[in-house]
């Protein structure tokens, strides 16, 4: 029975029951988003009868769903009326500029959730049950969904990433945005530096999303695209900055090192590579969101992982980078890791 | 945007991300139980390589799964070794007498989980997408699974329920156990009072499970069975005690009142009915486990609910009961509600 003992109050089975029914939390939020419930909550007045009319649903269903969302912290309830919690006001009301409700489409995508139905098999084999390369199979259409629906969650990271990537650099420069997706990171660099030219690399259908965002941001004249696989296409450097966001975690270490070598070779001396990653502490069990991300990579990829800073430093070092610095993104689970490609000769 | 404001520290999207990925918590625990991982954890030594060998799985899979279980509180990790948390030692190691790992089979049953794939539709219509009467469709085989797999979770409630149901009563008595399932509650009454005779009512295949448990407890000579629907069969009273555990929540109030009237009619004067229920507070959003149970009833039944004490009191009262008393079960989410069928003439 190991060394765990029941010191103090007796443990209760509540945690086990709660974990076994946790899938209901995801389902409840998906249902609320599908019903556009958070818009109705924002509109008020928030009583069951009004909400049921507003979203076209039954009173029984609305009352039970809203109670459940209150229990899990996504609404508040007072005198029988439901109102936004701080989290739902900021991140789930579709009129909030920081609304991330669209992330439900990617996070609830069948490709991402289905492997969890076979998780024991995946633990046995050590890799995803998705055929081929899993989520990173070439041209997987899930990345178009990612580019569309995850952009609002990534948007708050663009400003810190742009500032850190550009820190100390100015003037004309070329920037490669690998696995550009929605393109928001490269676009932010272009906005911050009007002399920066961006080359966005991703599958061709994904690049259509990035190009649309570049137009919206008014940087389309300095925005080129390079369709294809990051492992196969010629990057066409030299670059001052390479952005490599939300990408390394899909692959094993040798693959990451191979890619980082290619990145390093595309940089001019003094250039830098910036990765944005979930970076768990060396204990791999904290902080919860970054550390827990490994399970998603186990389920969805052949050999990906959430790498610790030490592991990322080793990969960068083995790929020829001279110096690595970590910058946790404020108020978020991500860390920006910057690799420097050696001091320019003139310094 | 309602009245919610961002007082104090800015809210982060972490809660939304956590809720959208909560289904992974259930999947991780199911996988660990399927792999018999908690037995291996109890055996030690708890390093990744040993655990992988013990359960016949990959090291990558075991490391990531064990890290995840640590993050959600179901294991501990120190110096790279995984050990039981208090909760997993007591409730997930198969050698623990209080192990409830089997509950995963009922709680993860397709019948219970599948409706959550269509929760928005269920909220719209107000009732389950399961055909017919949902989980309470006559002869639904899920109740044989319930009787087998939920018994360990219900077992700790048997002693308090038996004591409360029998409080102040002794001598020869007849006890009807409606929706007996595993039979543990009626069996406990039979153990506490050697002059009690039990009549267990449930679907015939479920009663086989209850009869097996009665034999194990050595009370089979005082244990009769009454196969069929609680709404249709003749109870054949009078009874001193009627047990009605985990049952009312499947039905709407008029149906509950109809059933309670039938129960009342089967009791002798001075008899009592004992229900075991998830009873949320009148706010319906606390305590979390009892209040959250309404969502399961929304998903799985046409019109069930987790009723508040006031609602249960009303139902009892409308059914002819004179007095109702609530007894929360210590260390658990359940409440025993006792309805008294009037003072006997001789008092």
pLDDT per residue over A88-112, tens digit each?
A: 999 999 999 999 999 999 899 888 8
Tell me how far apart the alpha carbons of residues A140 and A115 are, in angstroms, rounded to a whole number.
Answer: 16
Q: Kindly list the residues from chain B whose CB atom is less than 8 angstroms away from the CB atom of residue A72.
A: 19, 292
Helix H or strand E segment including B202: strand B196-202
Is B60 within 8 Å of A14 when comparing Cβ atoms?
A: no
Measured between CA atoms, the residue of chain B closest to residue A25 is B19
Residue B2 has pLDDT above 50, yes or no: no
How is A164-217 classified by DSSP, letter by letter? Answer: HHHTT--SSEEEEEET-TT-HHHHHHHHH-TTEEEEEEE-HHHHHHHHHHHHHT
- Of A119, A93, A118, which Cα lies nearest the Cα of A38? A93
Report the C-alpha gap between A180 and A202 in whole angstroms: 6
Any residues with CB less than 8 A from the CB of A260 and at least 6 apart, and which?
A244, A273, A315, A316, A318, A319, A320, A321, A339
**Pairing label, strands A334-340, A323-328:** antiparallel
Nearest chain A CA: its distance from B109 CA (Å): 11
A·B CB contacts under 8 A: 330
Average pLDDT of the residues in B253-282: 97
CA of A45, closest CA in chain B: separation in Å? Answer: 9
| Alpha-carbon distance A16 to nearest alpha carbon in chain B (angstroms) | 8
pLDDT confidence bin for B9, thresholds 50/70/90: low
Contact B165, B241 (CB under 8 A): yes
**Interface residue A79 vs chain B (CB under 8 A):** no
Query: What is the CB neighbour count within 10 angstroms for residue B44?
Result: 17
Name chain B contacts of A42, Cβ cutoff 8 Å. Answer: 1-2
For position B344, what pLDDT does the model report? 55
Q: What is the pLDDT of residues B99-151, one digit of tens each?
A: 999 999 989 988 889 999 999 999 999 999 888 777 777 778 888 888 888 89
State pTM to two decimals: 0.93
Q: Is B82 exposed, middle or buried (0-12, 13-18, 19+ CB in 10 A)?
A: buried
Whether A25 contacts chain B with CB within 8 A: yes
Q: Which residue of B has its CA nearest to A60?
A: B126
Average model confidence (pLDDT) for chain B? 93
3-state class (DSSP) for residue A337: strand
Where do we find the tokens 């599958």?
A203
- Give the number of other CB atoms < 10 A from CB of residue A287: 15
Task: List the structure tokens of B102.
Answer: 């089997």
Residue of B nearest to A97 (CA): B1
User: What pLDDT is recorded for position A292?
Assistant: 97
A277 touches chain B (CB under 8 A): no
Give the C-alpha separation, B176 to B170, whole Å. 16
Distance CA A293, CA A306 (A): 6
Tell me, rounded to whole angstroms, the distance of Cα B216 from its chain centroid: 22
Cβ contact, residue pair A26, B29, below 8 Å = no
Which 8-state DSSP code applies to residue A332? S
Chain A nearest C-alpha distance from B218 (Å): 28
Nearest C-alpha in A relative to B25: A19
Q: Closest residue of A to B122, CA-based?
A: A61
Cα B272 to Cα A242: distance, rounded to the nearest angstrom: 75
A108 and A26 Cβ atoms separated by less than 8 Å: yes
Hey, are the CB atoms on A119 and B73 less than 8 Å from each other?
A: no
Best of A13, A29, A35, A45 to substitute, by most chain B Cβ atoms within 10 angstroms, is A13
B19 with A74: Cβ contact below 8 A: yes
Task: List C-alpha distances in Å: B67 to A21, A242, B57, B94.
Answer: 20, 32, 15, 21
B65 contacts A298 by C-beta, under 8 angstroms? yes
Q: Do B42 and A18 touch (CB under 8 A)?
A: no
In terms of pLDDT, which residue wins out, B262 or B128?
Answer: B262
CA angle B323, B324, B328 (to 5 degrees): 155
Cβ separation A16–B92 shorter than 8 A: yes
Q: What are the strands, taking DSSP E only, across chain A? A: 75-78, 81-84, 173-178, 196-202, 223-227, 239-245, 267-278, 323-328, 334-340
Residues 37-56 of B with CB under 8 A from A: 41-42, 44, 46, 56
Q: What is the mean pLDDT of residues B290-317?
A: 96
- A31 contacts B26? CB cut-off 8 A: no
What is the Cα Rg of chain B in Å? 22
Nearest CA in chain B to A90: B11
Set of chain B residues whose Cβ sits within 8 Å of the Cβ of A105: none
For residue B277, pLDDT beyond 80: yes
- List, edge to edge, every strand of the sheet that includes A323-328: A223-227, A196-202, A173-178, A239-245, A267-278, A334-340, A323-328
C-alpha span between B44 and B40 (Å, rounded): 6
- Of all residues in chain A, the one with the smallest CA distance to B36 is A120
Residue A271 touches partner B, C-beta closer than 8 Å = no
Question: For residue B260, how many other CB atoms are within 10 A of its CB?
Answer: 24
pLDDT digits (tens, 9 = 90+) for B220-260: 999 999 999 999 999 998 999 999 999 999 999 999 999 99
Residues 133 through 192 of chain B touching chain A, CB cutoff 8 Å: 153
Minimal CA separation from A28 to chain B, in Å: 7
Residue reference for tokens 């069975």: B225
Q: What is the pLDDT of residue A134?
A: 72
φ and ψ at B253, to 5 degrees? -60, -45
HSE-up (13 A, CA, CB side) for residue A255: 16
B329 touching A, CB under 8 A?
no
Query: A198 and A222 in contact (C-beta within 8 Å)?
Result: yes
Selected for mutation to probe chain B from A24, A35, A152, A290 (highest B CB count within 10 Å) is A24
In tens digits, chain A (347 residues) has pLDDT values of: 333 333 445 678 889 999 999 999 999 999 999 999 999 999 999 999 999 999 999 999 999 999 999 999 999 999 999 999 999 999 999 999 999 999 999 899 888 899 999 999 999 999 988 887 777 777 788 888 888 888 898 899 999 999 999 999 999 999 999 999 999 999 999 999 999 999 999 999 999 999 999 999 999 999 999 999 999 999 998 999 999 999 999 999 999 999 999 999 999 999 999 999 999 999 999 999 999 999 999 999 999 999 999 999 999 999 999 999 999 998 788 999 999 998 654 44
Taking phi over 0 as left and psi of -120 to 50 as alpha, with beta for the rest, B144 belongs to alpha
Mean pLDDT of B13-42: 97
Residue B6 CA: distances (Å) to CA of A263, B2, B17? 41, 12, 19
Q: What is the pLDDT of residue A146?
A: 87
A81/B contact by beta carbon, under 8 A: no
Whether B95 contacts chain A with CB within 8 A:
yes
C-beta neighbour count of B194 within 10 angstroms: 9
Nearest to A230 by CA among A286, A179, A157, A165: A179
Kindly give, in sequence order, each residue whose CB lies less than 8 Å from that of residue A245, ignoring residues fewer than 6 positions away.
A154, A161, A177, A178, A179, A181, A185, A274, A275, A276
Cβ-defined contact of A86 to B291 (cutoff 8 Å): no
Which of B46, B71, B282 would you mutate first to test chain A, the one with the most A CBs within 10 A? B71
Contact yes or no for A68 and B107 at CB 8 A: no
């Amino acid at each position: 029975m190991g060394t765990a003992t029941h010191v103090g109050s007796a443990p209760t089975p509540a945690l086990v029951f709660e974990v076994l029914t946790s899938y209901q939390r995801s389902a409840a939020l998906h249902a609320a988003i599908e019903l556009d419930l958070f818009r109705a909550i924002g509109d008020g007045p928030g009583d069951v009868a009004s909400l049921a009319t507003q979203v076209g649903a039954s009173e029984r269903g609305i009352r039970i769903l809203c109670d459940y969302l209150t229990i899990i912290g996504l609404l508040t309830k007072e005198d029988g009326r439901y109102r936004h919690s701080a989290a739902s006001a900021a991140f789930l009301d579709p009129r909030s500029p920081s609304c991330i409700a669209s992330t439900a489409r990617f996070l609830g995508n069948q490709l991402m959730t289905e492997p969890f139905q076979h998780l024991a098999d995946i633990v046995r084999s050590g890799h995803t049950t998705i055929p081929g390369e899993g989520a990173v199979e070439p041209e997987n259409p899930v990345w178009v969904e990612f580019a569309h629906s995850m952009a609002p969650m990534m948007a708050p990271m663009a400003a810190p990433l742009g500032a850190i990537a550009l820190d100390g650099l100015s003037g004309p420069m070329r920037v490669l945005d690998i696995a550009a997706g929605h393109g928001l990171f490269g676009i932010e660099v272009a906005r911050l530096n009007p002399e920066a030219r961006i080359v966005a690399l991703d599958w061709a259908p994904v690049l259509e999303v990035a190009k649309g965002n570049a137009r919206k941001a008014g940087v389309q004249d300095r925005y080129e695209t390079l369709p294809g696989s990051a492992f196969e296409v010629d990057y066409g450097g030299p670059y001052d900055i390479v952005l490599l966001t939300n990408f390394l975690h899909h692959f094993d270490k040798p693959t990451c090192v191979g890619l980082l070598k290619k990145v390093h070779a595309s940089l001019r001396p003094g250039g830098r590579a910036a990765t944005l990653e979930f970076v768990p502490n060396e204990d791999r069990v904290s902080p919860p969101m970054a550390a827990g991300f490994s399970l998603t990579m186990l389920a969805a990829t052949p050999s990906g992982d959430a790498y610790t800073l030490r592991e990322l430093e080793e990969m960068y070092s083995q790929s020829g980078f001279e110096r690595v610095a970590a910058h946790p993104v404020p108020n978020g689970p991500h860390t920006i890791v910057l690799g420097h490609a050696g001091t320019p000769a003139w310094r």
